[in-house]
Each structure stands twice: as C-alpha cells, then as structure tokens.
Amino acid sequence: MEEVARALAASKSAVAFTGAGVSAESGVPTFRGAGGLWERYRPEELATPEAFERDPVLVWRWYKWRQELIYAADPNPAHLALAELERLGVLKAVITQNVDGLHRKAGSRRVVELHGNIWRVRCTSCGREFPVEKPVGEIPPRCPICGGLLRPAVVWFGEPLPRGAWEEALSLASSADFMLVVGTSGAVYPAAHIPRVAKRNGAVIAVVDPGETALDDIADFKIRGKAAEILPRLVAEVRRCLT
Ligand code: BV8
Ligand code: ZN
C-alpha cells in the first residue's frame, strides 16, 4: 500500500479506470460474480438493441429496477476517495464503465462515461436525448416531443461507444503515467483496452479488486480488497506523502 501511495503521489498524470465493483458497497449489484445482475438475467436477454426491439417493456422493467436501486444509493467511500484524489491534484480524471452517475455525485469533476448514463434517455424516433431526474414512471416511456419510444442512453452489447468519450479515454490513457484500475473484471471490450493502452505507454498499473481480474496480467501492483476499504487508506497514505 505504501509503495502504491508513493508512486501515486509522485505521478504527474494519474487516471482511474472503474467498473461496477466501485459501486458495490453503495448497494448497486455488479454484473458478474455472486448475486450479480447477470445471474438473474442474461446480458443477451437485456442489454442489447435486439432485446429492446423484441420486448421494450422487459428491458425497461430491468432498467427501471436499476434506476430505483441507484436512486436510493449513495456514493460510498471509494467514490469519495477518488473525488478527494482529484481535489488533491493527483487524479486527472475517472474513466468509468458504470452508468450509475455515482462518481459525479461523489464530487468527481472530470468523469468519462464509456457506457453512457442511466439518468439519460434517448428517443428511438427523433434521436433527442433527455436527462431524467428519477426512475421512469410508465413503461415504456414516450418522447415528449414526437411520442416515439424512449430507450436508456446507455451502450448495449453490439453498440459502439460514444465517440467523444472513447477519444477522451484514449487520450487520457495515452498520456497517463499511473492508472488506478478499480472494481472491474476487465471482461468487456473495447473498454478493457483502455488500461492496456496506458500500460503500453509506460503507465504504472495498480489493480484494486477482491478477486481475480482479466487485467491482472498488466498489474504492477495488485491490492486485493474492497474498494471502499482500500481507497480511503490509499488516499490517506498519498496525503502523508504529499506533506
Ligand atoms: C462493441 C452498459 C462493436 C449498459 C454494458 C467476444 C470476445 C470479446 C469481445 C466480444 C465478444 N463478443 C462480443 C464482444 C464485444 C462485447 C464484449 O466485450 N462482450 C464481452 C461480454 C465478451 N462488447 C460490446 O458489445 C461493446 N460494443 O463491441 O461494439 C461495434 C463497434 C463499432 C460499430 C458497431 C459496433 C459494448 C459493450 C458495452 C456493453 N454495455 N453496460 C448497462 O450497464 O446496462 S457492459 C457492463 O459490463 C457494464 O457496463 C459494466 O461496467 C461492464 C463491465 O463489467 P464490470 O464493470 O467489470 O463489472 P463486473 O461485474 O464484470 O466486475 C465487477 C468487478 O468488481 C469484479 O472484478 C469483482 O471482483 C469486483 N468487485 C466486486 N465487489 C467489489 C469489487 N471491487 C472492488 N470493491 C468491491 N466491493
Ligand atoms: Zn422523439
């Protein structure tokens, strides 16, 4: 832990890369692993344009359930620690695969959402996008402008990532000298390329996760543990190094 904190405190352009594990202690279930979202459902059943085409009500029932979970969730000490690292001037940005918006809610300012955001919906007819403040009411929700079917503005399997977010993530990863990889299985592409781009460009990679991940092979440091326990301790160490 001290070694990681020293390297992090000495870094010039550190970036965090997060997945569902960073929101686990906020009560938002992860996708894979025990009790994960995918256990009860199958990704191909729900997070795909074909599933939405076939049964928009089923897909919206799943997303409304997740919106309700997330609406009731607070950022946990892991999210708060990353926001603190940004305030300390150590962390330049958080690149996240999560759609729950909890990094921003925790105070992180530069957040790159690779897979969209569950609090935005997009009209499948006129293409307009709208923010939603709380879980949708009637299912499926209709566009207030043209009456078309609204969908969650998230990236489904088989869909391209938002170009702006992808470009920004690539440029951050290319110029990072340290990447803190937290709570991701590293199973989903092209998002999982981002830490590999950082590694190729000489960044030190620290992985925080209680289990094994598909990114462990590029980890210079592996800290096994829960993000809400590890990250606050890491930030306290970094603060000690900075004084
Ligand atoms: C695309 C958004 C092409 C919606 C999501 C075969 C091989 C390789 C790739 C593919 C393949 N077949 C298909 C593909 C491509 C596919 C893909 O990667 N599939 C995988 C499953 C094999 N990718 C795509 O389809 C992407 N699009 O390729 O488009 C294209 C290109 C151009 C033009 C047209 C088309 C789109 C992928 C995005 C899919 N959307 N979600 C929603 O959220 O509903 S994916 C979903 O998985 C989430 O976004 C999630 O973030 C993401 C990754 O999961 P993780 O975040 O890592 O979460 P996970 O549960 O897996 O892991 C949790 C980790 O936390 C674990 O390690 C656990 O140990 C740890 N943990 C648990 N508790 C804690 C903890 N850590 C810390 N503290 C704790 N307390
Ligand atoms: Zn519309």
pTM for the whole structure: 0.96
Distance 157 CA to ligand 1 centre (A): 8
Residue 157 has pLDDT above 90, yes or no: yes
Third-level CATH fold of 31-72+123-154 = SIR2/SIRT2 'Small Domain' (3.30.1600)
Residue 187, ligand 1, Cβ within 6 A: yes
Distance 161 CA to ligand 1 centre (A): 12
Residue 76, ligand 1, Cβ within 6 A: no
HSE on the CB side for 174, CA within 13 Å?
Answer: 6
Give DSSP secondary structure letters for 166-233.
HHHHHHHHHH-SEEEEES----STTTTHHHHHHHHTT-EEEEE-SS--TTGGG-SEEE-S-HHHHHHH
CATH number of the domain located at residue range(s) 2-27+75-115+161-242 in this protein: 3.40.50.1220
Q: What is the mean pLDDT of residues 37-59?
A: 82
Residue 7 has pLDDT above 80, yes or no: yes
193 is catalytic: no
pLDDT of 34: 63
Instruction: Quickly state the pLDDT bin for 172 (edges 50, 70, 90).
Output: very high
Residue 25, ligand 1, Cβ within 6 A: yes
Instruction: Quickly state the pLDDT bin for 214 (edges 50, 70, 90).
Output: very high
pLDDT of 101: 98
Q: Where are the domains of the chain?
A: 2-27+75-115+161-242, 31-72+123-154
Residue 39 has pLDDT above 70, yes or no: no
Question: What is the chain's mean pLDDT, rounded?
Answer: 95
Residue 49 has pLDDT above 70, yes or no: yes
Alpha-carbon distance of 190 to 38, in angstroms, equals 19
* Cβ–Cβ under 8 Å, residues 122 and 128: yes
Residue 38 has pLDDT above 60, yes or no: no
pLDDT of 243: 87
Give DSSP secondary structure letters for 90-136.
-EEEEEE---S-HHHHTT-SSEEETTEEEEEEEETTT--EEE-SS--
- Which ligand has the nearest atom to the CA of 193? 1
Annotate 202-235 with b (16+ C-beta within 10 A) or e (fewer): ebbbbbbbbeebebeebbebbbeebbbebbbebb
Distance 61 CA to ligand 2 centre (A): 20
Residue 31, ligand 1, Cβ within 6 A: yes
pLDDT of 33: 64
Q: Tell me, what DSSP letter sits at residue 142?
A: B
Question: What does each C-alpha distance from 160 to 50, 176, 190 come to in angstroms?
Answer: 15, 24, 9
Question: What does each C-alpha distance from 97 to 52, 116, 229 come to in angstroms?
Answer: 21, 8, 21
Minimum mean pLDDT range among 35-44, 68-77, 138-147, 189-198: 35-44
